[in-house]
Chain A
C-alpha cells in the first residue's frame, strides 16, 4: 500500500527544538517530491515547503524560510520537518504530502502530526 506514515503527537515548551518525521512506503521514495502543509487549529491549509529526496533540492514558502528546516534520509525513506526554537504559534497539525507528478498538487497525504507548544 502506498502511504505516508507520520510520527506521533508532540507536546513541547516554547524555545524547545523538535523534528517530526514522515516515512514513505509502497513506492520509490526518491522519485517523488515530499512537502509539508500546516493547519493551525480551526484554520485553513498552508503550504510550507517541499523537497526532492533524490538530491535534497528544497523549496520553501518565503514566510517559512529560516523558520523550519525540511530534510530527508533517503536510506530510510523518511522526510523530516524541524524547528530549532518552537513558539506557541507553531501549534498546529502538520501534514506531509506527496505530489503524484511534477505538478505540485497532492494526491497522497499523511494522517498528520499534531504539535502543541505550550508553557
Chain B
C-alpha cells in the first residue's frame, strides 16, 4: 500500500496569503495519478485537482497542483475566506488499493 503523508497537519494563515500544502508518498505514484480534495465541515469532499496538476471543472485558478514521483504540492495563491477547510490528497496509481493522505487543515490565523 502506498502511504501518503500530508504536511503540515494544520496551516494557520490570513486571507490573501499563499498556502502551500505537501503530500509525500511512500513510493513513486504511477503516472502522477494524484488528486486533491477540499472538505468543509458537514460536507462531502470536492475534487480540486487530478493528474497532479489538472484543475477539475469549476475550480478557480488560484488552486494549482504540481509534483511527480513521491512529492506533490497543492498551492492556493491567495486565500479566500471560503478556502479555509480540510484538504486531502489521494493516489490512484494502484488500482487495487487507492489511498488518501491524513489531511491538512487550513485555518484562519
Residues of A whose CB lies within 8 Å of any CB of B are 44-47, 59, 61-62, 95, 103-107, 109-112
List chain B residues, Cβ under 8 A from A111.
Answer: 44
**Total CB contacts across the A-B interface at under 8 A:** 54
> Max chain A CB contacts within 10 Å: which of B47, B57, B99?
B47
Can you name 18 extra interface pairs (CB under 8 A) apart from A46-B100, A110-B44?
A44-B88, A44-B101, A44-B102, A44-B103, A45-B103, A47-B99, A47-B100, A59-B95, A62-B96, A62-B97, A95-B45, A103-B51, A104-B92, A104-B95, A105-B35, A105-B90, A109-B44, A111-B44
Known: A62-B97, A103-B50, A104-B98. A45 touches B92 (CB 8 A): no
Tell me how many residues of B have a C-beta within 8 Å of chain A.
23
Any A CB within 8 A of the CB of B18: no
Collect the chain B residues with CB atoms within 8 Å of residue A62's CB: 96-97
- Are the CB atoms of A109 and B45 closer together than 8 Å? yes
Task: Judge if B46 is at the interface, Cβ distance under 8 Å.
Answer: yes
**Residue pair A44, B100 in contact (C-beta under 8 Å):** yes
State whether the Cβ of B33 lies closer than 8 Å to any Cβ in chain A. Answer: yes
Question: Which residues from A are CB-within-8-Å of B96?
Answer: 59, 62
Give the interface centre of B33, B37, B50, B98 by most chain A CB atoms within 10 Å: B98
